[in-house]
Amino acid sequence: MSHPKNPKPVLYFMAVAEKEKGVFLSIARSFEGDLGMIVLQGTPFDFSSFTTYYNEEMGKPLWKNFYFFEKLREPEFLPELKHRCYQVERVTALPEGNRTVNIDPGYLNLAKVVLSTFKDYAHRIYLGNSVYAEVTLIYKERCFQSLPWTYPDYKTPQTLEIFNKARVYYKKRIHAYR
């Protein structure tokens, strides 16, 4: 029989698409109180080659990167963080309402990468307050691997490499956390 217990804290990240490289770094300071400083980031890549979904609103090219934060937090912080990211998107939008940055927060632990969204779909679980979550990558055979619904940009060797590095960081932190 299993018994209720609190989950281990997780490592938060933000997947950021922006029109101009580096804009998010000036915004990231607003998250430091809750998440700490950025401790790891990927290499920016041309996100426009993966999707046209944002073209009308944000234009192209769009640059995407992943930013991992220092503090470990409880997984139930994800809906609040998703709403905070949404507010930052709204504040930094152009006068006509078009976003200049798209911020999708998520977290990882030793077994998986979880991504948040406001959009429902068959493989997503409702967390509350208009926020859904999906397992985007799973850790199997000593590395993160994609699932049938994983976004194409999360399947690239470059993205998998940064998430595997983040897992190594998290593993050291979670062992020290005890």
| pLDDT tens per residue, range 120-155 | 999 999 999 999 999 999 999 999 999 999 999 999
Cα distance between residue 118 and residue 134, in whole Å: 11
> Which residue is associated with the tokens 């078009």?
98
**How far is the first Cα of the chain from the last one, in angstroms, to the nearest whole number?**
25
- Which range has the worst mean pLDDT, 10-19, 47-56, 118-127, 155-164? 47-56
Query: Is 103:85 a contact under the CB 8 Å cutoff?
Result: yes
pLDDT digits (tens, 9 = 90+) for 42-57: 999 999 889 999 999 9
Decide if pLDDT at 178 tops 70: no
pTM: 0.95
**CA distances in angstroms from 80 to 15, 76, 107, 123, 125, listed in the order given:** 16, 8, 13, 21, 16
Cα distance between residue 18 and residue 102, in whole Å: 6
